[in-house]
Chain A
Amino acid sequence: MRGQTFLGAIALGLLAAGAYVGLVASPPDAFQGEYVRIMYAHVPNAWVAYVAFAITCVASALYLAKRTPVYDYIAHSATELGVVFTGLALVTGSIWGRPVWGTWWTWDARLVTTAVLFFIYLGALLVRGLADDPRRGARLAAVVSIVGFLDVPVIHYSVVWFRTLHQPASLTRGDIKIAPPMLAALLLGLLAFTVLFAYLLTLRIRLARAEDAGEAA
């Protein structure tokens, strides 16, 4: 409880520092100008979203193997956080793309995979909510999450190959050469969001546990 508040405080401090470095202290980019600052809000969101889905997959598999409620609390919490952060990653990515690429959306493999991932895990959340029994909902959500996670690499490569036949080089963010001060800002953002994610995950797991106990009582 106290440890959790402490974690929250650290997350808040790191986020404030990250926002300061990202918005004020770091230099503008040679090509993108000031807009590079959106990257410090976008990339950490995407990173945390992928971490959330990896945790969901592992926790789901553990739940199906051991049937201990704890793993389901973790899987449920990580799925919900994953959906939130994937949504934020997609929105900030679009906002970044508008001034830099001149378009809100391109059919780049990473964008499409992320959007598809968003829908798969939204489906897992809905299945859980609409199932007639909470334990069955937990099991079904675990099944959907595992199938979804196994499917991600196949989806990614199929989208890559599907598009490359028509447009040889699409814009990928990996091409951007990154200068040390920018890298520092980005790493600080990644660290801040990881700690924030850890805080939110513990909070959400506590909520899942409390709600489960409330329903049982």
Chain B
Amino acid sequence: MGWIALAYGIVLITLTTYVLVLRRRLRDATRARGTPTQHSSVR
């Protein structure tokens, strides 16, 4: 039983972490892209 839980657990944790990291980096990247336009509108 333990081996099965270990295998499924590792897959679950890795993929969840990966998705979360991707979504966070995506949010940061879109925000970073937004920043210059905000600056230029201020100017």
Contacts and interface: CB of A to CB of B under 8 A. Distances in A.
Contacts of B14: 84, 87-88
B7 A200 contact: no
B3 A98 contact: yes
Interface stretch (A65-73, A145-153, A171-179, A201-209): A201-209
Interface string B9-33: 0110011001100110110011011
Nearest to A38: B7
A19 B30 contact: no
Given A95-B10, A203-B23, A204-B22, A214 B4 contact: no
Interface residues of A, number: 29
Interface of A is mostly: helix
A42 B4 CA distance: 11
A92 B26 contact: no
Interface of B is mostly: helix
B1 interface: yes
Contacts of B6: 95
A203 B20 CA distance: 11
A115 interface: no
A188 to B, nearest CB: 15
Contacts of B8: 19, 23, 38, 41
A181 interface: no
23 contacts: A34-B4, A35-B4, A41-B11, A84-B14, A88-B14, A91-B7, A92-B10, A92-B11, A95-B3, A95-B7, A95-B10, A96-B3, A99-B3, A200-B22, A203-B19, A207-B25, A210-B26, A210-B29, A210-B33, A213-B29, A214-B29, A214-B33, A217-B36
Given A35-B3, A84-B18, A96-B3, 5 more contacts: A84-B14, A88-B15, A200-B18, A203-B22, A213-B29
